[in-house]
Chain A
């Protein structure tokens, strides 16, 4: 298809909960009860897609060999979004899975995501608009077919990329050939769910072959003619500012093209990556540091009672009941600083060619990356084309892309394309970490053995606050960090009195979005404590949970996953043959998930043999990829819960390499993972993060049954007392 003029038939504003919608009415939201209701809404509701959803021509392209290209503004980082989007579009377009390809939309095409690929929202937010776009495109093709075939549109039917009328048929490619102006009909009626062929089926991933045969699909793999290699000098110390620089030795080293000095960084451009790295080591920088930070300093800051409190949830009189009770049950939990540790280092390939910029990059924030490059180079965003690539892992790390700006500045300085990426040490020391947390839980049980009052106070470094995705002006409006509070809410609505308070702590280094945000740590704390309370009450932990869930739709869905996980696992509270089960559940972004971990102690090590997971993401677009996300989340969550911890030593973040930064390996992964998918909602919901919630508590709860020791801090290790 060539470039077309499209008649715009509607201007569609979807209800938007994200930061944009919140900001628009911000001035009215300073009163606390209203603010609380926003935060609670932020915890539960889904995010609508922010971007163009009105112009099929931006989204679809038909090639001469009759393939439909879907230009996705969402990026593929392993979560399977491309496959789900292909299924959704194919069913309304009437093409088969072999006839559709998903590619990343470049910003120059105009199909730009206005938010990010994150928050487990890609499929849920595009479920409705993408089907409408695909159905509209199909009707547009039919209108042109009617003209070319000289028949009435009503007589046409579509199937497998062809339009038929009577005995005649034309392929979509034949129909699209030569069309310069498309007639756009009103949004057609969508098909009935039961008539979909691909939606709901375990269709294989559309990117399988590229990934199995080693195709050059990642940001790291991008190349351009005459490309040079850059690198940026980074300090080892926390908070270090650039002082005096002596680059004289580096400038004369083999392969070095230029040393670049900007106000905020020093970079080297060379003929090859090893040469650039070597030259970097020869640059002497006097880094100015304020303080020699240690782990103990950070731990002392992350304490409930310090920092800025914000009540995020309040029901009944929890505070008063807890203060006046002589039967108070209380426990403290904590989680450490964690790294993203995604395998593909951050980086970018940029080419500044006059007043045009091209950037190939693994990014989760295409629009923001473009804006930052344009702003720094004093260009209009339209002069910058961001070409997104597959991401070698996202996990939230690629919601920050200042390296795109640095690559562009280096390219501008040498007049050639420059590719640069972080070393692994730089990845570990300049990550946007998962913040450490501290949790103080308090409860009082009633005469019926159920929870009468529950309070969760938790302290966290920033997640959303401080991120360029969430403008600073949103902070006073929201009051609490929308990322840190994930999973911090009480999900057992039948508890009559409960309260949750988030304490914000400003750390001396960046912490930010890490897959599932606060969910991992908050669920570890809350669901371990619920287990403690069940044992205190002398009740079975599964029954104990079920008894305190409210009777509404959200409650029903949570109950069903709890029951399904317990049933599938053959739940028992008894130790059998040296193995014990631990139970935990969470609700994140409206997706409830329950897990049972089957654990033994071997030597002095915790061994997780099997995990059973029940999840209700609503309608399952691709059950196999939902399973894959659960399996991956469980093992990634196990890794974070049992092994991972960054330390601060003499002002430096450490360790700086895999291995010393301990992570789960093949030998630590459970040999069995069972996933039960429930579909108690009529549209697709969040999948990529919710199953990270329960695993930490499920493991720790099992360990308690084996050893009698309650593990209250991650990474979980025996003999914590």
Chain B
């Protein structure tokens, strides 16, 4: 079957034999964007978190057939070196990553949370950021999320 969606703003059509194939593998192995990670395959760790129509979704457990007509964003589309998303900017300023493997998933989850809750509390962060980081960079991630919220606020102020 053919499935069409927008990936990081550009239209894509993929031909898949099995519509139940997790979107993660289409993104990684067919469309060759490796920033979205495989961690567990059971939506338990969050390493594969992407945005589907702006919502944080664990792509290892999201069938590709449901992507039809959707707007998909991965870490590669969140921001770039030239134009980083506030979350990425904050991650750099707080020097968050260690091994780095889980970090795209966390940044995608954090960015989705900040869309809904622009000024999160500790409790908001605890309840919404439930991915797993084995290097345990949680302490800096929390600081970076607060910093991203500030950066986002400043950016919003600059737009007339």
Within 8 A of A (CB), among B111-128: 122, 125-127
Which of A434-442, A575-583, A656-664 lies at the interface with chain B?
A: A656-664
**B29-A673 in contact (CB<8A):** no
User: How far, in angstroms, from A395 to B122 measured CA to CA in the complex?
Assistant: 29
**A274-B75 in contact (CB<8A):** no
B5 on the A face (CB < 8 A): no
**B35-A78 in contact (CB<8A):** no
Q: Which of B18, B21, B132, B136 contacts A631 (CB 8 A)?
A: B136
Inter-chain contacts of A635 with B (CB < 8 A): 136, 138-139
Q: Which of B21, B35, B135 contacts A216 (CB 8 A)?
A: B35
A11 on the B face (CB < 8 A): no
**B88-A213 in contact (CB<8A):** yes
**A78-B98 in contact (CB<8A):** yes
The prevalent SS among residues of A at the interface is loop
Inter-chain contacts of A221 with B (CB < 8 A): 34
**B134-A209 in contact (CB<8A):** no
The answer to whether A209 and B81 touch (CB under 8 A), given A423-B41, A664-B138, is yes
B14 on the A face (CB < 8 A): no
Within 8 A of B (CB), among A189-219: 204-205, 207-218
Within 8 A of A (CB), among B97-148: 97-104, 107, 122, 125-127, 129-142
A390 on the B face (CB < 8 A): yes
B47 on the A face (CB < 8 A): yes
Interface string of A238-267 (1 = CB under 8 A from B): 000000000000000011000000000000
**B44-A658 in contact (CB<8A):** yes
**A212-B40 in contact (CB<8A):** no
Within 8 A of A (CB), among B1-25: 17-18, 21-22, 25
B54 on the A face (CB < 8 A): no
**A394-B132 in contact (CB<8A):** no
**A394-B139 in contact (CB<8A):** no
- The closest CB in chain B to the CB of A215 belongs to B35
**B81-A636 in contact (CB<8A):** no
User: How far, in angstroms, from A634 to B139 measured CA to CA in the complex?
Assistant: 10
A424 on the B face (CB < 8 A): yes
Interface string of A373-414 (1 = CB under 8 A from B): 000000000000000001111110000000000000000000
Q: In the complex, what's the smallest C-beta–C-beta distance from A320 to chain B, in angstroms?
A: 44
**A657-B42 in contact (CB<8A):** yes
Inter-chain contacts of A673 with B (CB < 8 A): 139
Within 8 A of B (CB), among A609-645: 624, 628, 631-636, 638-639
Q: In the complex, what's the smallest C-beta–C-beta distance from B145 to chain A, in angstroms?
A: 9
**A212-B107 in contact (CB<8A):** yes
Q: Which of B38, B79, B127, B134 contacts A395 (CB 8 A)?
A: B134
The prevalent SS among residues of B at the interface is loop
**B99-A205 in contact (CB<8A):** no
- The closest CB in chain B to the CB of A340 belongs to B134
**B129-A666 in contact (CB<8A):** yes
**B134-A272 in contact (CB<8A):** no
User: How far, in angstroms, from A423 to B39 measured CA to CA in the complex?
Assistant: 9
User: How far, in angstroms, from A207 to B45 measured CA to CA in the complex?
Assistant: 23
Q: Which of B40, B45, B74, B98 contacts A628 (CB 8 A)?
A: B98
Tell me which of A229, A658, A670 has the highest count of chain B C-beta atoms within 10 A of its own C-beta.
A658
Within 8 A of B (CB), among A43-70: none
**B37-A392 in contact (CB<8A):** yes
What is the interface residue range for chain A against chain B? 35 or more
Q: In the complex, what's the smallest C-beta–C-beta distance from A414 to chain B, in angstroms?
A: 17
The answer to whether A666 and B125 touch (CB under 8 A), given A345-B38, A673-B139, is yes
**B95-A624 in contact (CB<8A):** yes
Q: In the complex, what's the smallest C-beta–C-beta distance from B66 to chain A, in angstroms?
A: 16
**A669-B139 in contact (CB<8A):** yes
Q: In the complex, what's the smallest C-beta–C-beta distance from A122 to chain B, in angstroms?
A: 14
User: How far, in angstroms, from A338 to B64 measured CA to CA in the complex?
Assistant: 35
**B141-A632 in contact (CB<8A):** no
B80 on the A face (CB < 8 A): yes
Q: In the complex, what's the smallest C-beta–C-beta distance from A603 to chain B, in angstroms?
A: 15
Q: Which of A424, A638, A665 contacts B39 (CB 8 A)?
A: A424
**A390-B99 in contact (CB<8A):** yes
User: How far, in angstroms, from A519 to B131 measured CA to CA in the complex?
Assistant: 27
B31 on the A face (CB < 8 A): no
A344 on the B face (CB < 8 A): yes
Tell me which of A213, A392, A635, A658 has the highest count of chain B C-beta atoms within 10 A of its own C-beta.
A213
User: How far, in angstroms, from A210 to B34 measured CA to CA in the complex?
Assistant: 12
Inter-chain contacts of A628 with B (CB < 8 A): 95, 98, 137, 140
User: How far, in angstroms, from A220 to B92 measured CA to CA in the complex?
Assistant: 23
**B37-A344 in contact (CB<8A):** yes
User: How far, in angstroms, from A707 to B79 measured CA to CA in the complex?
Assistant: 49
Inter-chain contacts of B140 with A (CB < 8 A): 628, 631
Inter-chain contacts of B34 with A (CB < 8 A): 214-216, 218, 220-221
User: How far, in angstroms, from A531 to B133 measured CA to CA in the complex?
Assistant: 31
The answer to whether A666 and B130 touch (CB under 8 A), given A274-B21, A345-B38, is yes
User: How far, in angstroms, from A665 to B25 measured CA to CA in the complex?
Assistant: 26
A80 on the B face (CB < 8 A): yes
A491 on the B face (CB < 8 A): no
Inter-chain contacts of B101 with A (CB < 8 A): 218, 342-344, 392-393
**B99-A391 in contact (CB<8A):** yes
Inter-chain contacts of B37 with A (CB < 8 A): 218, 220, 343-344, 392
Query: Known pairs A636-B136, A658-B39. 9 more at Cβ < 8 A?
Result: A210-B100, A211-B97, A213-B80, A214-B74, A215-B34, A424-B40, A663-B134, A666-B131, A669-B136
Q: Nearest 8 A-B pairs (CB), nearest first?
A: A214-B35, A392-B101, A78-B99, A211-B100, A78-B98, A635-B136, A214-B75, A667-B126
**Pairs across A and B, CB under 8 Å, 26 listed:** A78-B98, A80-B98, A208-B91, A208-B92, A210-B100, A211-B97, A212-B97, A220-B34, A220-B38, A272-B21, A274-B21, A343-B37, A343-B39, A343-B132, A391-B99, A392-B101, A424-B44, A424-B45, A628-B98, A628-B137, A631-B139, A635-B138, A657-B40, A658-B42, A666-B141, A670-B139
Interface residues in chain A, defined as those with a beta carbon under 8 Å from any beta carbon in chain B = 77-80, 204-205, 207-218, 220-221, 223, 229, 254-255, 272-274, 340-345, 390-395, 421, 423-424, 624, 628, 631-636, 638-639, 657-659, 663-667, 669-671, 673
